[in-house]
Structure 1
């Protein structure tokens, strides 16, 4: 099963409503994935800064964490808590140093994502509760993607929830199943990738990051995945400037897109899109198999 949603805002006036719309879309997909949920929000950011979204349950360490990390980096550290996640903003060039310090001094803190504009929040539980836990309805941004999971092949854990991120400002949500993910995982490990779960979706995310690291555009990376990744799938991929959709050549998993002058929206079912403003005037269509659909803000 699993449910996917995505929203790319063309109209800047809708940006304060991004979290509200995505949260409602996510909750509508609860029947497709009641085990866990997650969402990637792309909002404000600066190219010279990096936002590290961390899962850190103990709020008592926040002030000390910011102070000590700032002393190590010799730079100001901004820290914002949302439930059991925190977003730490630091100079981009000091990301590796910060992560090495965290691994040594706070091994209990888990890196969820990194990016100049992207923040990822995910947790076990009903999608509506997860959205409320992180105050997602109040979040602003330009675009975002979300996922509701029904765990059929692995345990219900926070690490196993989508989105998966394997590169800066890059993330993926997936509905389907890959048959050759173990072989692809072994190849990516030889390229230096480290995987935290046995989930095939994390492998798909890693494959796309690797192809783009090697020089592919997002469209080229997704096109090559049609050959490299065997199985049935719908991918929605988030990037710094937009998002993309791809279905496998058989396209047995449900998917629907809607485009208007104000936005592009994706849902596993139309009911996820039905409450969007102006949906009655949007062009609603089913994405074709083996075809990359992408929108970017330039």
Structure 2
């Protein structure tokens, strides 16, 4: 699912709307859930969302200039931009048991094993605000039920992806991307898709251009919902065998694997509801 707000007056409700959309999709993915939410950020600050056990004292150990907000099994570190490399090096050396799930100026990324409603409640999603969010509920059909395997996946600053489908060439793509500096923490094909977009955008492509290139370079069937610092995009493969529906009003753009995920949104009765076309990039951005 994804929700991109055009109307700033809805921003305080973003978390509650996202949580409701996730819960509706429970029977499509009851074993784990995750979401990325884009809230406030400062140009000279970075956020690192860190996941793991024994998070008490981590922010304090990093120094007085580092602030931390603990949400269940995740800790959001707010750090001066110039300190990001030092913080990452400290985490790698002193706390290799912790995983960085997301990083950037505005993104916070949370995911866990469990029913979507429980995951949303544990992290306090209903009380969060922001401009846009993407989320995913998972039924692990090709791998174990783990937190690391849950979506979203993030491989670049303020960028993340959720995926419905399967890629057949993700192993060969991984071997191409790793020498280019794209790092992966799981064997999930969705993380490779996220890494591919990061790589293309580092080469100067826009999000829309990177998604267009993926139609040539990614084999398989897929629906992608992607978030960046200011943007939101959707792409289906040329066959488009996975279900997808979108709704647009003057206040928002929303995506769901099924219409029922959108049914509780404000003003949905007057929205333009449509099925995204195969092999067409749909993208929105706030400036």
* Alignment partner of 1:269 is 2:263: no
Q: Secondary structure at the match of 1:114?
A: strand
Q: What is the DSSP-based 3-state SS (H/G/I as helix, E as strand, rest coil) of the residue aligned with 1:159?
A: coil
- Normalised to the residue count of structure 2, the TM-score between the two structures is 0.98
Aligned to 1:204: 193
Instruction: Give the distance between the partners of 1:190 and 1:86, measured in 2 at CA.
Output: 30
Aligned residue among 49, 52, 60 for 1:67: 60
Gaps of 5+ in 2: none
CA deviation vs aligned residue, 1:35-75 (integer Å, no higher than 9, x gap): 1100000000011110000013224x33xx2232116xxxx
Equivalent residue for 2:38, pick from 42, 49, 63: 42
Find 1:155's aligned residue among 144, 147, 170: 144
Give me the whole-angstrom Cα distance separating, in 2, the residues matched to 1:110 and 1:284.
38
What corresponds to 2:122 in structure 1? 133
Deviation of the 1:94 alpha carbon: 1.7
Q: 1:54 aligns with which of 50, 57, 81?
A: 50
Give structure 1 stretches of 5+ with no counterpart. Answer: none
Alignment correspondent of 1:292: 281
Deviation at 1:109, TM superposition (A): 1.6
Separation in 2, partners of 1:161, 1:67: 29
Q: Structure 1 residue 292: deviation in Å? A: 0.2
| 4+ long deviations beyond 3 Å | none
Shift in Å at residue 196 of structure 1? 1.2
* Corresponding residue SS for 1:212: helix
**TM-score normalised to structure 1 length:** 0.95
Aligned equivalent of 1:17: 13
- Contact kept, 8 Å, 1:178 with 1:232, in 2: the verdict is yes
Residue 32 (str. 1) matches residue 28 (str. 2): yes
Q: Over aligned residues, Cα RMSD in angstroms?
A: 0.9
Pairing partner for 2:163 from 168, 174, 178: 174
Aligned to 1:85: 74
- After TM superposition, the structure 1 stretch with the greater mean CA deviation from structure 2, 172-181 or 100-109, is 100-109
* CA-to-aligned-CA distance 1:247-284 (integer Å, 9 cap, x gap): 00000000011000110010000000001010001100
Partner Cα distance (1:134, 1:57) in 2: 15
Q: How many residues align?
A: 287
Q: After alignment, is 45-54 or 100-109 more displaced? A: 100-109
Deviation at 1:92, TM superposition (A): 1.1
What is the distance in 2 between the residues matched to 1:279 and 1:67? 45
Q: How far apart, CA to CA, are the structure 1 residues paired with 2:210 and 2:74? A: 30
Distance 1:266 1:46 in 2: 28
